[in-house]
Amino acid sequence: MNKKYLRDIQSEYDDRNLPINKVGVKDISYPVVVLDRADGIQHTVARVNMYVNLPHQFRGTHMSRFIEILNKHRNGISTLNIRKILKDMLDELDSGQAHFEIVFPYFITKSAPVSKEQAKMEYTCVLSASSENDYYTLEVRVPVLSLCPCSKEISAYGAHNQRSILSVKIQAEEKIWIEDIISVAEKSASSDIYSILKREDEKFITEKSYENPVFVEDIVRNAAVSLQEMDGILWFSVESENMESIHNHSAYAQIEMDLRAKNQNKNTKENR
């Protein structure tokens, strides 16, 4: 059948006068290539979400075009071309706004602290951007270890600890390495966590965390101090959930900070 005789239902007029903020495709499992500081690139599998706005007069959008755009960029998706993806979405779908998000596991080869045994460590990352602004948002979820200062102080020996998830979100106009965000998170806790440990490594981490006790409040404050000092960050949110080992709940803390005014003042002083 000739394509010109196929009725385009999506483009037909809709009389309900209701624009749609976001319409598109969600939770696509798709192989992607992301930037890796050590090896240049890293192949991984992402869950992809792509949306545009829909003006009130159109009945629907063309869902297949989202997949076509994704396929155009199948050889690499990163902060380097995310704006091109958004532009393609605006052009191909004739829309005024576009939103793009990928959720993916990121792996780093990590050496144990004493034995130096190496293994891959997984971190969950979320990279998202919108055509409405010039920055992207990167979230990295980092597992860490925290040891309770109060427990250490009041106990004759030992102290209870928690496995914590420290989630760092940043907005930036320039490239920020995932590895740098992970480093900030791991240094903010009592100890970082490893995929493989020998007995000498376990001894080291146990003693390290005992000498570096932190509350959940300490973790987010430590991370916030470091993030304020990093170049290129416009805004950040850092939150920690500590899964308690002796309580039937988690401890939680969060700090959010907009650094745009601070960066503007810094640039003004430098240009004087």
Q: Are 270 and 160 within one domain?
A: yes
Q: Using one digit for the tens of pLDDT, what is the confidence trace for 125-148?
A: 999 999 998 888 999 999 999 999
Residue 202: exposed, middle, or buried by beta-carbon count in 10 A (0-12, 13-18, 19+)? middle
Q: Using one digit for the tens of pLDDT, what is the confidence trace for 83-132?
A: 899 999 999 988 899 999 999 999 999 999 999 999 999 999 999 999 99
Question: Which tokens is 108 given?
Answer: 């780093």
Q: Are 142 and 92 within one domain?
A: no
Residue 149 lies in a domain: yes
CA-wise closest residue to 82 among 174, 179, 181, 180:
174
- Domain stops at, among 58, 91, 107: 107
Specify the number of domains making up the chain.
2
Residue 28 lies in a domain: yes
Confidence band (pLDDT; 50, 70, 90) for 271? low
pLDDT (0 to 100) of residue 159? 92
E strands, the chain, in order: 20-36, 40-54, 98-111, 118-130, 136-147, 161-172, 191-192, 233-243, 250-258
Lowest mean pLDDT among 12-16, 98-102, 212-216, 237-241: 12-16
| Phi, psi of 182, deg, nearest 5 | -60, -40
Residue 159 lies in a domain: yes
Q: Using one digit for the tens of pLDDT, what is the confidence trace for 14-64?
A: 778 888 899 999 999 998 888 899 888 899 999 999 999 988 877 878 888
Q: Are 161 and 59 within one domain?
A: no
Q: Are 141 and 269 within one domain?
A: yes
Q: Using an 8 Å Cβ cutoff, are 54 and 20 in contact?
A: yes
Question: The CATH number of the domain where 158 resides is what?
Answer: 3.10.270.10
Q: Are 155 and 230 within one domain?
A: yes
Q: Are 37 and 81 within one domain?
A: yes
3-state secondary structure of 49: strand
Positive/negative CA dihedral, 201, 206, 211, 217: positive
Q: What is the mean pLDDT of the chain?
A: 90
Q: Are 145 and 270 within one domain?
A: yes
pTM of the model: 0.86
Q: Are 263 and 210 within one domain?
A: yes
Residues 6+ apart with CB under 8 A from 73: 81, 84, 85
Transcribe 64-106 into DSSP letters: HHHHHHHHHTTT--STTTHHHHHHHHHHHTT-S-EEEEEEEEE
Residues 6+ apart with CB under 8 A from 156: none
The parent domain of residue 57 ranges over 9-107
Q: Are 50 and 154 within one domain?
A: no
Q: Are 62 and 146 within one domain?
A: no
Confidence band (pLDDT; 50, 70, 90) for 82? confident
Using the 8-state DSSP alphabet, how is residue 116 labeled? -
Confidence band (pLDDT; 50, 70, 90) for 77? confident
Compute the distance between CA of residue 169 and CA of residue 139 in angstroms, rounded to an integer: 4
Q: Is a pLDDT exceeding 70 seen at residue 269?
A: no
- Domain stops at, among 107, 123, 149: 107
pLDDT (0 to 100) of residue 265? 60
Compute the distance between CA of residue 270 and CA of residue 266 in angstroms, rounded to an integer: 6
Helix or strand (DSSP H, E) at 185: helix 178-187
pLDDT (0 to 100) of residue 63? 87
- Domain stops at, among 53, 72, 107: 107
Percent residues over pLDDT 90 in the chain: 65
Q: Are 94 and 198 within one domain?
A: no
Q: Using an 8 Å Cβ cutoff, are 195 and 143 in contact?
A: no
Q: Are 150 and 257 within one domain?
A: yes
